Amino acid sequence: MAQQHGIIVLFDVENALRTRSLEGNTYWFDNMKLFGSEGVGTERLETIVPGTHYLDGSQATEQVLNWLPAALGSIPPTVPRNYLAEQGRADDRRTLDELAGLDAAGGVNETDVRRLQGRVGKRARKQASGRGLTDSKLLDVTGRTTTSSDAYNYPAPVITDITGPAVTEKIMYPAQYGSPDMIYDGWYWAATVDTSRPGVYRYTMHVQLHELVERNDELVWESVDLTCESSLKIINDPKRNGFTGAGLGVLPMPPVPVTG
Amino acid sequence: MPPRNRQPERRSTRSARPVTITAVVDPVAALASENLDGSLYLYDTNRPAGSTGFGTPELHSRVRKGDTLLWNVIPLECETYVSLADVEIDPQIAEPEQKVYPGTDIVFWTAEVKQDLTEPVPYRLSFLLGTVTTPFTPTGRPALAGSAGDGKEA
Amino acid sequence: MTQAYAATDFTERGQLNSVQLNVVTLVDMERAAATKSLDGCLYMMDNSVGGVGQGTDHLETVCKQGQVINWIIRPIDMHRRPDGTWPPMPKINNIVFLDIEKGDEDDVAERRIMTELKVYGAPDRMRDQYTAVYYYWAGAVMSEARAGLYRYRFVLELEKEHGTDKLYLNSARYPALRVLPV
């Protein structure tokens, strides 16, 4: 398979929630700058998609796009979410053990109780329509459990749909695929691209952000749906192997195996 | 009908939220060209307060005395190792400490801004990429800058 | 080709539990069909740092708790032929983790060390007749998995050159995950 394209979208969530818009709060990246993507790191990315075909014109191998949304100012997406959730559960088990060990006869120490309360942390209720929120505690931006509703870690933004001319004109075929990492409830968006029609095609990404609000004395995650746009530039320069500069195929091998 | 969501109030005192400075790194391009030029994009969470240079290595972050700063990294390639090796800045302004996200070995750095800034103070970031043992340092330098005036809210 | 670990392979440097690991297995389909065995037919490689056995059929993949592992398998010959047909393909039917107790190495493990270990690659919905469908195995090392060596067995399904029936085989030797402490 040809190299997969990674498109990373960084959202300034705090600002986007304040202005209720992704305009000016979205930064797009892909891993194809060397091949000609333009606008990497800005709001106006044009992802290059080189053609992949055999000499007879038939499709040789598909191009695949993968999207990864991230929140600026939050725990980076490299920290596996299910890992943090499991750590939280392990913490809770330890807390229960320690609670059981508190000796009422000797008098329960207030400091101990506060320490345990801190470890239990706070959970916010997830609204019925909230996507992508794993059942975990409120964290601060350093990944520690917090009971304060200031400076909480924004959950990862969730892509809910990809639409627009690039989809309706059947340039790309997006869908959600599963992943062992529960960061987005285990789903991420990917698409294959038909590279037979060169041109620039726009697409709209539908994103759901989550905001922590206080309602009737409890904390609730409220979802906010917004959209942003990007585009694909399909070209029909044949796909080249990044190592050899030649066409796709097996890599050149030395005639004698390297010893050592 | 459920009560309408109220926008969080603007606080007159500083928010408890740290100012996060995020380095987006293209490790594959950096390793291929053996330097970070064109492969490093800096952003922070203080754009409303006047930070400039977004998406370049020369980010100027608007900060005030007492602000907590947090530096972290987002790599553009999930199969390549990237980490922030060092944050070097005048210790009179800030003394960054290396930490890890709980239970992981993923590094971030934090510091408190010790004084108000009258002029921009440049600092140096260095990164470890892939299995290369020498840290990479960008040519451009980011800086911490003081507030233009009193009003932090836009 | 490294067959032993250097002391430096176990130092913290160079490995995050956030990096997704790919374990790629190449299958000599012709030899497997001829011998009805996977002995000498599997060549494994991964993108971990320091795992021994690269290129062999008993690769040890160095990883950490929380890390995602993807298993990719392909035939050595996988190019479309001039007549438009494709060579026979292998498929992983199962990845079976094995007991760590001495004497029980062929038995299934008593404790899970992977979470969400299953087949991935199908879309949430066929949104179009051309929506892509893939097939690969993946899982995440459990965060409570203890550091150590965890061997596993492949159960493979091999297409035949002629005919639609398949050949089902167990891997001859056991590759493994070597879990390092975070």
DSSP per-residue letters across chain A: -PPPEEEEEEE-HHHHHHHT--TTSEEEEES-GGGT-BSTTBS--EEEEEE-B-TTS-B-S-EEEEEEEEETTS--TTS-HHHHHHHHHHHHHHHHHHHHH--STT---HHHHHHHHHHH---PEEPTT--S--S---BBTTS-B-S-SSSBPPPPPEEEEEESHHHHTTSEEEEEEE-S-GGGTTEEEEEEE-TTS-EEEEEEEEEEEEEEEEETTEEEEEEEEEEEEEEEEEEEEEP--TTTSS-SSPPP--SSPPP-
Q: What is the pLDDT of residue B10?
A: 40
Q: Which residue of A has its CA nearest to C2?
A: A260
Compute the nearest-CA separation of A27 from chain B (Å).
8
User: Where residue A58 sits, what CATH number does that domain have?
Assistant: 2.60.40.3910
Is C33 in a helix, a strand, or coil? helix
Q: Which of A53-57, B129-133, C56-60, C82-86 has the lowest mean pLDDT?
A: A53-57
Contact list in C for residue A90 (CB cut-off 8 A) is 143-144
B78 CB neighbours in chain C (<8 A) are 18-20
Asked if B106 lies within 8 A of A76 by C-beta distance, the reply is yes
Interval C13-36 mean pLDDT: 82
* Distance (Å, whole) CA C61 – CA C50: 8
A103 and A176 co-located in one domain: no
- Residues A184 and A121 grouped into a single domain: no
Same domain for A111 and A217?
no
- Whether A150 is in a domain gets the answer no
The shares of helix, strand and coil residues in chain C, as percent rounded to the nearest 5, are: 5, 40, 55
Mean pLDDT of A187-196: 90
Same-domain status, A68 and A89: no
Q: Does B150 touch chain C (CB under 8 A)?
A: no
User: What are the phi and psi torsion angles at A175 (to 5°)?
Assistant: -160, 170
Closest CA to A17 of A206, A158, A224, A156: A224
Q: Which residues of chain B lie closer than 8 angstroms to A34, CB-CB?
A: 29, 32
Residue A213 is predicted with a pLDDT of 87
- Tell me which of A255 and C130 has the higher pLDDT: C130
Please report, for residues A71, A129, B26, B27, C76, the alpha-carbon distance to residue B23 in angstroms, rounded to integers and kept in the order given: 13, 32, 10, 11, 40
Where in chain B are the domains? 18-144
| Minimal CA separation from A86 to chain C, in Å | 7
Does the residue A57 lie in any domain? yes
- Over A145-189, what HEC string results? ECCCCCCECCCCCEEEEEECHHHHCCCEEEEEEECCCHHHCCEEE
φ, ψ of residue A126 to 5 degrees: the values are -95, 130
More confident residue, C3 or B124: B124
Please report residues of C whose CB lies closer than 8 A to that of A134. Answer: none
A108 and A68 in a common domain? no
Query: What's the pLDDT at A204?
Result: 98
Reported as a pLDDT band with limits 50, 70 and 90, residue B2 is very low
Q: Are the beta carbons of A80 and C134 separated by less than 8 Å? A: no
Q: Which of A237-246, C44-53, C163-172 has the lowest mean pLDDT?
A: A237-246
Q: Are C73 and C91 in contact (CB under 8 A)?
A: yes
Partners of residue A175 in chain C, C-beta under 8 Å: 123-127, 131-132
Q: How far A144 CA sits from the closest chain B CA (Å)?
A: 7
C122, C134, C140 ranked by CB distance to A82: nearest: C140
- Indicate yes or no: CB of A33 within 8 angstroms of CB of B38: yes
Residue A101 and residue A217 in one domain: no
Which tokens in the block code for residue A211? 């905001």
Residue A158 with chain C: CB contacts under 8 Å: none
Q: Are B49 and B99 in contact (CB under 8 A)?
A: no
| Parent domain of A62 | 3-74+156-238
Q: For chains B and C, what is the number of CB pairs under 8 angstroms?
A: 35
pLDDT at A257: 64
Taking CB atoms and an 8 Å limit, are B81 and C19 in contact across chains?
A: yes
> How close is the nearest chain A Cα to the Cα of C168, in Å?
25
CATH number of B18-144: 2.60.40.3910
Judgement on whether residues A70 and A94 belong to the same structural domain of the protein: no
CB contact (8 A) between residue B78 and residue C143: no
Question: How many folded domains does chain A comprise?
Answer: 2
Asked if the model's pLDDT at residue A164 lies above 90, the reply is yes
Q: Is A106 exposed, middle or buried (0-12, 13-18, 19+ CB in 10 A)?
A: exposed
DSSP β-ladder status, B19-25 and A218-238: unpaired
Please check whether residue A258 lies inside any domain of the structure.
no
Minimal C-alpha gap between C160 and chain A (Å): 22
**Residue A234 and residue A173 share a domain:** yes
CB-CB contact of A183 with A71 (8 Å): no
Query: Distance between alpha carbon B33 and the CA centroid of its chain, in Å?
Result: 24
Reading the block at residue A73, the tokens are 């100012």
Phi–psi pair at C35, nearest 5 degrees: -95, -10
Same-domain status, A227 and A181: yes
Instruction: Please indicate, yes or no, whether residues A106 and A41 belong to a single structural domain of this protein.
Output: no
B131 vs C: CB within 8 A: yes
Instruction: Examine the predicted complex and report whether its ipTM is higher than 0.90.
Output: no
Average pLDDT, integer, range C97-119: 89
Taking the C-alpha atoms of residue C65 and residue C50, their distance in angstroms, rounded to an integer, is: 16
pLDDT at A128: 60
| Interface chains of chain B (3 or more CB pairs under 8 Å) | A, C
CA atoms within 13 A on the CB side of A67: 30
In a shared domain, residues A223 and A169: yes
Nearest to B48 among A15, A84, A148 (CB): A15
pLDDT at B154: 39
Query: pLDDT higher for A45 or A150?
Result: A45
Write out the residues of chain C at the interface with chain B, using a CB-CB cutoff of 8 A. 12-22, 47, 49, 64, 66, 143, 182
Q: Is residue A151 part of a domain?
A: no
Question: Considering chain A, what percentage of its residues have pLDDT values greater than 70?
Answer: 75
Q: Is A251 a member of any domain?
A: no
Claim to verify: residue A60 and residue A161 sit in the same structural domain: yes
Mean pLDDT score, A36-43:
92
Q: Do C132 and A86 touch (CB under 8 A)?
A: no
Phi, psi of B91 (to 5 degrees): -60, -15
The subunits that touch chain C, with at least 3 C-beta pairs less than 8 Å apart, are A, B
Does residue C88 carry a pLDDT above 50? yes
Q: For residue B79, what are the CA distances in angstroms to A179, B110, B113, C52, C70?
A: 15, 26, 34, 19, 11
